[in-house]
């Protein structure tokens, strides 16, 4: 996370005190701007131990430019105004926001009804070490399986096809493939997570980094997902996948969440337009 925050801070500093900036992004990259320092995303751990150094460097740069210096890192990243384009339910900083996130920028798909059969779609990356093991588990789950795996070697594609797995060469539209799937398997990226949530499909998650782990925690808390730890055994993976596919609770919670979201249209685009107009008038 340090690299992302430092990069965002440097970009915002280029305009600080000169040009009003509207910051637009997901919850993970836009911490609550009113906080005095970066909040810890994990208990007992400082996510930005070099925060004082970043602020001191920013102040030094601003002195040379004869411009005001930011007092806190969250306020620098938050810009003159900001719009958090994620669902409040999937916002990792939801409990700390002065106002809730506005919703995804793109219009979400409408909820799908329950699928006619049990089936799985997996959207994974081959460079994540446990992916190969998870594919082994999924190929033997006993239900129809479709996959898109980024950078999957040709020999693994062939092995999956021999096992009657439908292997996509490019990522299929999630709304389309979810019509045929009762479970979406992925690493926990916010785009896929929110799309599956809006469609009403349970999720099975294998996170590969902190942001995805935080997304997974939110989805598990909502009751719409299960997660797998990276050191799982084949037996543990098989049991977890079988439980996720058969779980009526996951299906019901996913359908309920999708119905709630469908009644709450995203306000992000309207908010962005309004704030741009306000900032242009005040600059």
- Residue-wise pLDDT for 85-123, tens only, equals 999 999 999 999 999 999 998 766 789 988 989 999 999
One domain for residues 154 and 20:
no
Residue 112 in any domain: the answer is no
**Number of structural domains the chain divides into:** 2
pLDDT above 70 as % of the chain: 96
Neighbour count for residue 262 (Cβ, 10 Å): 14
List the one residue out of 197, 201, 227, 147 whose CA is nearest residue 156.
147
DSSP H stretches of helix in the chain = 2-15, 51-65, 73-78, 131-139, 154-162, 174-178, 190-199, 210-222, 234-246, 248-262, 268-282
Average model confidence (pLDDT) for the chain? 93
- Indicate which CATH number applies to the domain containing 192: 3.40.50.2000
Same domain, 196 and 272: no
Instruction: Kindly report which listed range (32-41, 137-146, 194-203) carries the lowest average pLDDT score.
Output: 32-41
Assess whether 131 and 242 both reside in one domain. yes
Same domain, 187 and 90: no
Domain that holds residue 188: 120-262
Same domain, 55 and 173: no
* Token pair of 64 as six digits: 């040379």
CB atoms within 10 A of CB 154: 7
**What does the pLDDT read at residue 96?**
95
Note the pLDDT of residue 44: 62
In a domain, 111, yes or no: no
* Number of other CB atoms surrounding residue 253 within 10 Å: 18
Q: Is the pLDDT of residue 27 over 80?
A: yes
What confidence score (pLDDT) does residue 9 get? 83
| % of the chain beyond a pLDDT of 90 | 83
Q: How far is CA 213 from the centre of its chain?
A: 9
Q: Specify whether 71 is located in the same domain as 163.
A: no
Quickly count: other Cβ atoms within 10 Å of residue 93's Cβ: 19
- Mark whether 139 and 40 lie in a shared domain: no
Return the closest-CA partner of residue 185 out of 236, 242, 129.
Answer: 242
pLDDT at 40 (0 to 100): 83
Within a domain: residue 274?
yes
Pair (160, 102) in one structural domain: no
Asked whether residue 43 falls in the same domain as residue 75, the answer is yes
- 212 and 152 in a common domain: yes
DSSP states along 158-194: HHHHHTT-EE-SSPPPHHHHHTT-SEEEE---HHHHH
Residues 6+ apart with CB under 8 A from 211: 1, 28, 92, 188, 190
Looking at residues 238-263, what average pLDDT do you find?
A: 97
With 0-12 / 13-18 / 19 or more C-beta atoms within 10 angstroms meaning exposed / middle / buried, residue 99 is exposed
User: Do 256 and 137 fall within a single domain?
Assistant: yes
pLDDT at 2: 61
Contact of 88 with 23, CB cutoff 8 Å? no
- Residue 106: the pLDDT is 79
pLDDT digits (tens, 9 = 90+) for 118-150: 999 999 999 999 999 999 999 999 999 999 999
- Count of alpha carbons within 13 angstroms of residue 187, beta-carbon side: 20
Question: Domain check: are 101 and 134 in the same one?
Answer: no
Crossing angle of the two packed helices 154-162 and 131-139, in degrees rounded to 10:
20
User: What pLDDT does 266 receive?
Assistant: 86
* Banded model confidence at residue 48, pLDDT cuts 50, 70, 90: low
**Which pLDDT does position 1 carry in this prediction?**
53
Q: Which of 140, 33, 131, 130 is nearest to 81 (CA)?
A: 33
Write the pLDDT tens digit of every residue in 172-185. Answer: 999 999 999 999 99
């Amino acid at each position: 996370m340090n690299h992302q925050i430092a990069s965002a801070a440097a970009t915002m500093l280029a305009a600080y005190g000169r040009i009003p900036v509207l910051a637009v992004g997901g919850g993970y990259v836009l911490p609550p701007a009113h906080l005095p320092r970066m909040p810890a995303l994990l208990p007992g751990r400082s996510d930005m131990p070099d925060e004082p150094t970043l602020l001191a460097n920013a102040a030094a740069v601003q002195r040379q430019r004869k411009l005001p210096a930011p007092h806190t890192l969250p306020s620098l990243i938050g810009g003159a105004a900001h719009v958090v384009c994620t669902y409040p339910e999937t916002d990792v900083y939801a409990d700390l926001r002065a106002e809730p996130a506005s919703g995804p920028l793109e219009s979400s798909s409408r909820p799908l009804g329950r699928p006619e059969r049990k089936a799985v779609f997996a959207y994974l990356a081959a460079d994540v070490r446990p992916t190969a093991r998870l594919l082994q588990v999924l190929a033997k789950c006993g239900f129809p399986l479709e996959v898109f795996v980024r950078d999957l070697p040709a020999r693994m594609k062939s092995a999956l096809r021999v096992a009657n797995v439908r292997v996509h060469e490019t990522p299929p539209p999630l709304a389309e493939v979810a019509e045929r799937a009762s479970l979406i398997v992925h690493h926990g990226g916010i785009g896929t997570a929110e799309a599956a949530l809006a469609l009403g499909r349970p999720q099975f998650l294998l996170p590969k980094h902190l942001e995805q782990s935080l997304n997974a925690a939110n989805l598990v808390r909502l009751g719409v997902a299960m997660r797998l730890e990276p050191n799982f055994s084949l037996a543990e993976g098989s049991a977890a996948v079988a439980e996720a596919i058969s779980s009526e609770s996951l299906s019901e919670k996913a359908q309920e969440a999708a119905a709630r979201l469908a009644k709450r249209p995203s306000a992000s685009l309207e908010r962005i337009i309004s704030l741009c107009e306000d900032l242009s008038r005040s600059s």
